[in-house]
Structure 1
């Protein structure tokens, strides 16, 4: 939402729920296939569905439920913020806890998933940090930061000395004079 735009526009909750169910169902299939390959006895390729198919179902249910609750909560609250993600994460974590069949597991997995998903969304939805403004060019932003923190060359030379790519004005003349005094070499000036 823009700064001046305060009206909430409802979003479809069914389409993202189906998409989330498909994506996490495929991830569940991959995990189920890994479980299938790690068994000690001989199994058929169909045992991905028969032996560890509940993994696929739990993953798909978690993804679909998360997306549905997130968008439904946003529509009911008429706000798009991190609390919707927390609600969706709690319900999705509850589904994971249902596999264990105890109330502490249901509430614990729900709380854990809600906290992790809420913190991730509140932190900008990226592992690299909060998302920067998409309207600002990244090159211009970095140039502005460089200019803001730039130090005068005299201060840098005073702390580090000359050499290693850091040279003040009149360096060539001082170098020629030093070589002449110290070693008796007459270095010609560059044209």
Structure 2
């Protein structure tokens, strides 16, 4: 009786594979923030190189920096309107670069945290991550419609992308399946008898049935009276 009870509670292979494995949301967010911050720093360096003014090498950080924060500095008030306008432009550039890092971290953390809370790994998690990532992008405009609009747009795009397979290059073979076994299965699954092929296409053009050499020699002898030696 105890043996039967233990056997009933033993999970099968399908149940083991369907068990959700928790993800490290904080670690993934830190990695994503680091990667996107590096990308923002690279973009800042390019912007600093292409600027018309001679701002020096540190301009990538002082003028186009802010790659690890969501907001940059606001417009700097100067004695003239031109300086205040220039300060606002600098603030917008800094916000644009800083938002890049915030978007990556918000996306990864929200996606993995949602998967851990829901105990499911489906298309809703990238959609929720895209919602927060798009909201980070909309924050630089300091407008609620921009936050909602960008969040919904990124959520729809990432959710649809994940729902349709999450790949741009097409079908990927299962790495757990042996390639030789897969090809043998395809050959067995699609192989057809040689008799059916000969009946539809006939012999020749690389398609030869058993005893083809003997039949060919007999046809030549009957038609032309020439004996053709056969290897058989």
Which interval holds the TM-score relative to the shorter structure? 0.7 to 0.9
Corresponding position of 1:25: 37
Structure 1 position 4 matched with structure 2 position 4:
no
Structure 2: runs of 5+ lacking an equivalent: 1-12, 66-93
Corresponding position of 2:104: 63
Question: How far is 1:21 from its partner?
Answer: 0.5
Corresponding position of 1:116: 157
Q: How does 1:31-180 map to 2 (within 5 A)?
A: 31-39=43-51, 44-53=56-65, 54=94, 55-129=96-170, 134-180=175-221
Larger radius of gyration: 2
**What's the CA shift string for 1:82-124, capped at 9, x where partnerless?**
2122111111011122334444433332223222322333344
SS in 2 for 1:4: helix
Alpha carbons 1:124, 1:131 under 8 Å: kept: no
Corresponding position of 1:13: 25
TM-score, normalised relative to structure 2: 0.64
Give the CA RMSD over aligned residues. 3.3
TM-score, normalised relative to structure 1: 0.75
**What's the CA shift string for 1:120-141, capped at 9, x where partnerless?**
3334443345666554324323
Structure 1 Cα separation of the partners of residues 224 and 38 of structure 2:
75
Relative to 1, partners in 2 of residues 1:185 and 1:95: Cα closer, same or farther, differing over 3 Å?
A: farther
Relative to 1, partners in 2 of residues 1:189 and 1:131: Cα closer, same or farther, differing over 3 Å?
A: closer
Alpha carbons 1:26, 1:56 under 8 Å: kept: no
Relative to 1, partners in 2 of residues 1:147 and 1:57: Cα closer, same or farther, differing over 3 Å?
A: same
Relative to 1, partners in 2 of residues 1:180 and 1:102: Cα closer, same or farther, differing over 3 Å?
A: farther
**What's the CA shift string for 1:29-78, capped at 9, x where partnerless?**
33344444555666644343344433442221111111111122223334
Structure 1: runs of 5+ lacking an equivalent: none
